[in-house]
Amino acid sequence: MYKIKMPIVLVFIIFTSYLSAQEPSEMAKKEAAYYEIVDVPIPKGVELEVGGLTFTDDDKLGVTTRRGELWVIDKPYSQKPEYSRFAHGLHEALGVTYRDNSFYLTQRGELSRLFDHDGDGKADEYRTIYSWPLSGNYHDYAYGPKFLDNGDMLVTLNLSWVNHGASLVKWRGWMLKITPDGEMEPIATGLRSPSGFNINKDGDVFYTENQGDWVGSGRMTHLEKGDFAGNPEGLRWSSDPLSPIDLKQDVIDESLGLSLYEYSKKIPALKAPAIWFPHTILGIATSDILYETTGNKFGPFDGQMLIGDQGHSKITRVFMEKVNGVYQGAAFAFREGFSSGVLRLIWGSDNSMFVGMTSRGWASTGKKSFGLQRLKWTGKTPFEIKTMKAQDDGFILEFTKPVNKKQASDLAMYKLNTFTYNYTHEYGSDIVDRQTAMIHEATVSEDGLSVRLKIHGMRLGYIHQIEIPTLKSTSGDLLLHNTGYYTLNEVPGGKLNSPSMTMVAKSDKKVVQPKRTNKMPESWNGKIDEKLDIGTKPGLKYDVEEVRIKRRSKVALTFNNNDDMLHNLVITEKGVASVDEVGKLALSLGLEGADYNYVPDSDLVLYHTGILKPISTETIYVTMPETPGEYWIVCTFPGHSAVMRAKLIVE
């Protein structure tokens, strides 16, 4: 235990907009009619890269930052909030909570408690509750704590990154339970990047995971003591006497070619996700979990879950149910258009949601490097699929408004696909084993608020994508978000009674992309004018900002993805408008995006590579344009195109 006296810091009263506003998407404009985003002003000079949010007993907002500070914001609901720095010198605090008149937070190497004994608004004691080893790796993040009812705390520890996730020191990739007196108990492992976790009203714990090695797409898992969530690196410590699991790393055999759900049937300790978030569609970097506990004072979704996404600067909504003791449910788009990468969510006393954001090194569609905003319900109810409940032969859809009964009973209104992801050490997974299911019957309830769908082709362990693009309410509204994604692990009664669709061919199509030129054209006669190597840098950047090449040059262009995430390299036509449009078209590819390497079939695209996994390389053969000018090099993986660009100047 040691004490630090903090210097007095003046409360800032001058506020600034530190980066220019961005134009909202068409969807964000529609969503704004129901949920309004309001900036919480940040003083000039305060780098509020939010890592954690919590409220004090007197309704002040505590904010920890990635730069190692803890700010306390008085009047956070106003346009003149007052900031005071409670603590600094912390080590990237990515979580905080307030209890017993003090702040509890995680730093990279410890769970800490901060006291203000003399009541001057500054921490004067920094107490270590429990510490864990550090490897020195940049990826050694730590998150939490969350309090259990008995006063114990949960924290989660990120894996290190050494061209793959690695547990370099003890308990990396684990969830730990720690008592206020510093007694530690490992709870579960198999975690990769567990930045978000929360506890429901029944005391059940859920955590969110980002796509990566052994993680085909973003997902949410119900964690219980002794669970293994899928990434084998944490099993390095399963022989420790404290470990609640005795599974060993070498047991995992990816050569079987199974999905995570299928593999969980072979290894009881392996826990299949309760929810999958299809990658690039419902986000790319899943973050915080917030339960809707306002009692319908935030709209019609009481009791549901709201999930942040750092990479896409958005929030997803989840309806969760428990079937045969197993959690599962449906995910829907909810609100996009936040100013930076959404990392933390918390309710204010006025039933608005505070959204804490950061993007440094973790680039996001929101252009600002950090931010604090509030999401307020306008009082208007959107027409939405409110819930999606599994039956043994279909689903029951509940809506927020009565539907047009004639339309809703028309089977042509609905489109249903099923798909999954591979369970492999590779970084992420393409959508695999996609099949079309058939809506066999649609029965509308008397009040028009629900539709019972009978389906042929449901499959356990698969994501079920339902699309209803033209259905209207009785008042003529189209669904604000017309697509849902249900993760089906169980059905009521335990037996699936949906006839199979074995006659339907799998849609794992092979797409020919002529602008992906991996072979030297015969017309070059084996001669190359220039060789060009382009790599990546952290923070969604190529390692060049500008390239100059003579027109008509024959170039062997090698793209080296030495980053820890997926990227491609696309050469587009002249002008910023061209590269912006290509980025939008790539995002609109949806489920088919991976088939096309997230490169749209557009005349604006001149050449491109495929999607490259981390630490991989591809060479393409490019004939530079005839017309000189400023062309662009861009990564069109969804969410990357806004920032990952370089100029290609043809001379």
Mind listing the pLDDT tens digit for each residue in 216-231? 999 999 999 999 999 9
Among all chains, which residue has been given the structure tokens 């506890």? 199
The CA-based angle 217-220-224, given to 5 degrees, is 135
Question: Cα 548 vs. chain centroid, distance in angstroms?
Answer: 36
Looking at residue 68, what is its pLDDT?
A: 97
> Taking a C-beta distance cutoff of 8 angstroms, is the pair 551, 627 a contact?
yes
What letter would DSSP give residue 15? B
Q: Which residues pair with 112 in a beta bridge?
A: 105, 128
61 CB-near residues (< 8 Å, 6+ apart): 53, 54, 55, 72, 73, 76, 346, 348, 354
> Taking a C-beta distance cutoff of 8 angstroms, is the pair 632, 599 a contact?
no
Among all chains, which residue has been given the structure tokens 């009812």? 149
Looking at residue 443, what is its pLDDT?
A: 97
* Mean pLDDT of each 10-residue bin along the chain, 651 residues long: 32 34 85 98 97 98 98 98 98 98 98 97 97 97 97 98 96 98 98 98 97 96 98 97 96 90 94 97 96 96 98 97 98 98 98 97 92 98 98 98 97 94 94 90 97 96 98 98 98 94 52 94 95 90 95 96 89 95 88 88 96 92 96 91 92 96
Looking at residue 5, what is its pLDDT?
A: 33
Count the Cβ atoms, other than its own, within 10 Å of residue 476. 8
Q: Of 275, 143, 162, nearest to 212 (Cα)?
A: 162
Q: Which residues pair with 68 in a beta bridge?
A: none
Q: Of 392, 389, 373, nearest to 335 (Cα)?
A: 373
16 token code pair: 């600034």
* Global confidence as pTM: 0.83
4 token code pair: 């630090």
Looking at residue 16, what is its pLDDT?
A: 34
Looking at residue 12, what is its pLDDT?
A: 32
Among all chains, which residue has been given the structure tokens 């609905």? 414
201 token code pair: 């009203």
